[in-house]
Chain A
Amino acid sequence: MKPGRRRANRRENVAGYTFLLPWLIGFLGLTLGPMIYSLYLSFTKYNLFADPKFVGFDNYVRMFTEDPQFLQSVQITLVYVLVGTPVKLAAALGIAMLLNYRNRGTGFFRSSFYAPSLIGASVSVAIVWRAMFSSNGPVDSSLSLFGINIGGWVGNVSLVIPMMILLAVWQFGAPMVIFLAGLKQIPRELYEAAEVDGAGPVRKFHSVTIPMLSSVIFFNLLLETINAFQVFASAYIISNGSGGPAGMTNFYTLYLYKRGFADGQMGYAAAMAWVLVIVVAIIAFILFRTSKSWVHYAGENK
């Protein structure tokens, strides 16, 4: 290599790392370093005051064998993710198709449907939700018009998860907007061709819309699933931090928070966090692996 070239390379390296310095400090000091430390903590007993005490896999074994609260929190979180995410995505796709039917006048609807996604994570909305679904709240009293008397969802063991799922589904606007952008990319000729072959609406949805939208579906599915695992603020507010009734809003991250910061079991909470990382990694891996068989990227021949 010529000396001049080498000097230019060195200059690029210096410039690169200078521009990257804030990110690099943050990555090493606030992400990678803490990750390694939390992995270590997950093998210890640590309460913030005494030194961490190494206990091997005890925390991990304990959560799966001796902690019914953990197992319950896994169970309700899985229900929330496995039911909530598909329903939310179906709503997002359905409304996106409805909006794609006509172009004029959709701006207002698009914005209105998106608004909940933006504010949904706020404490204010969790408070509204609790009020709306409490006994004698608006939801209950409208249902009683149809002769259904529930007496409040918030304190009801079997209805509090559906209520949380409704809150998640209500925020379908963000994936909807992404679906809508994807729908607009589908060439009209494809529908035209399907029409010539005698395809009805169902067939066209199945053979044109779904394959052409598959990369967008994949993207939304991945992000929404990972987000759903991390529900925290709404569960905290709706149950006043208790996870009740009967542990039915004790979602994974709320339970992790309670173990770590209320009970001072930092090692156990760190182990829980790592279980979450592993689960999210496995799900991402499975989605990426299976995506090869169902995700169709534009310009690829299949």
Chain B
Amino acid sequence: MSTIEVDRAAFLEGQIEPQPRRRRPKRKTVNTVIWFVVLLALTAIILYPLVWLVFSTFKPSSEFGQNPGLIPENPTIDNYLKVFDGIAGTPLWRFFGNSLLIAVSAVVGILASSALAAYAFARIKFKGVGVLFAAMIGTLLLPFHVIIIPQYIMFQKLELVDTYVPLILPKFLATEAFFVFLMVQFIRNIPRDMDEAARIDGAGHTRIFFSIILPLIRPALITSAIFAFIWTWNDFLGPLLYVNSPEKYPLPIALRLYNDATSTSDYGATVAVSFLALLPILIFFIVFQRFLVDGVATQGLKG
């Protein structure tokens, strides 16, 4: 982008007042510097809680309540050593494993069931498609609290409480309309030429779905997979309701063990597990940030 273009854009947005030509470059530089400093300050404020968490994991428990600052006075890795020993007779890796099992199953279930449903909604002209599509959109805005009570009663009658079935089964039945909707939008943007040509050649829907549509919606599948993983990893209410045995706890629930047991003073362990629980998401974020941010921008996904 040329300097003149940048200047004109900034001028049109009212950031730069009309100036005699020779004074403009200086004014522009000053504005840009102010802009940069303001944003940098805002970033520092926004990211401070995270940075504070990371540094706090190296504070000895005695320092909590004494040293609210960033830098530990007596840095230690004791918190991590303590945390890796586990709690309530359960090693930490077990909670990680539980979370991973649930999240990976959810990703597989959501991708498979949502892609099938999205293809039906976007490409097959069957009786009742309009009404069913409207029903699917309706569930987007439905507060899910209205269904957790009957769902809980149902799973309880089926004696499936304290198993992962209530957490995983719904994902294989495309109950999260967000992902279906996202994929429908994506499939609708794919030109029909290719699948129509395939149909003339005698390909059925199964064939078209697997060899044409699935490969073409890969970006939507990746975006969905990342969000599905992160949301399931973060889920609190589901495991709170359905998982009772500590050795089956996923991380967010296990975190409460460290937290409850320590309401007096052992903050060190709590912050260390908090950070470890956040780590996979932060890594996902750093690796896929472009994908995530663009996915939000184009599809209106929530964080």
Binding site for B on A (CB under 8 A): 12-13, 15-17, 19-27, 29-35, 37-38, 41, 48, 95, 98-105, 107, 109-125, 127-129, 131-132, 134-138, 140-142, 170-171, 173-174, 177-178, 180-181, 188, 191-192, 195, 200-201, 204, 219, 222-223, 226-227, 229-230, 232-233, 236-237, 240, 253, 256-257, 260-261, 266, 269-270, 273-274, 276-277, 280, 284
Contact = CB atoms under 8 A, between A and B. Distances in A.
Given A23-B173, A229-B143, A236 B302 contact: no
B103 to A, nearest CB: 13
Contacts of B135: 27, 32
B84 interface: no
29 contacts: A12-B124, A16-B125, A19-B116, A20-B116, A24-B132, A26-B173, A26-B174, A30-B147, A35-B150, A101-B13, A112-B43, A113-B43, A114-B296, A115-B50, A116-B46, A119-B282, A123-B277, A124-B275, A128-B53, A128-B271, A138-B52, A177-B293, A181-B298, A195-B12, A204-B13, A226-B143, A236-B236, A273-B148, A284-B141
Contacts of B271: 127-128, 131
Contacts of A227: 302
A110 B259 contact: no
A20 B43 CA distance: 44
Interface stretch (B88-96, B151-159, B189-197): B151-159
A16 B118 CA distance: 10
Interface of B: 1, 6, 9-10, 12-15, 32, 35-36, 38-39, 42-43, 46-50, 52-53, 56, 64-66, 68-69, 112-114, 116-117, 119-121, 124-127, 129, 132, 135-136, 139, 141-154, 156, 170, 172-175, 180, 204-205, 209, 230-231, 233-234, 236-237, 240-241, 252, 255-256, 259-260, 263, 267, 270-271, 274-275, 277-278, 281-282, 285, 289-290, 292-293, 296-298, 300-303
Contacts of B209: 19
A137 B63 CA distance: 11
Q: Which of B180, B282, B296 lies at the interface centre, i.e. has the most chain A CB atoms within 10 A of its CB?
A: B296
A226 B141 CA distance: 7
Q: Describe B's contact surface by its main secondary structure.
A: helix
Contacts, number: 290
Contacts of A116: 46, 49, 303
A13 B274 contact: no
Given A112-B46, A226-B143, A227-B302, A180 B297 contact: yes
A274 B146 contact: yes
A191 B12 contact: yes
Nearest to A26: B173
What are the 5 tightest A-B residue pairs by CB atom distance, in nearest-first order?
A117-B303, A16-B126, A26-B173, A34-B150, A19-B120
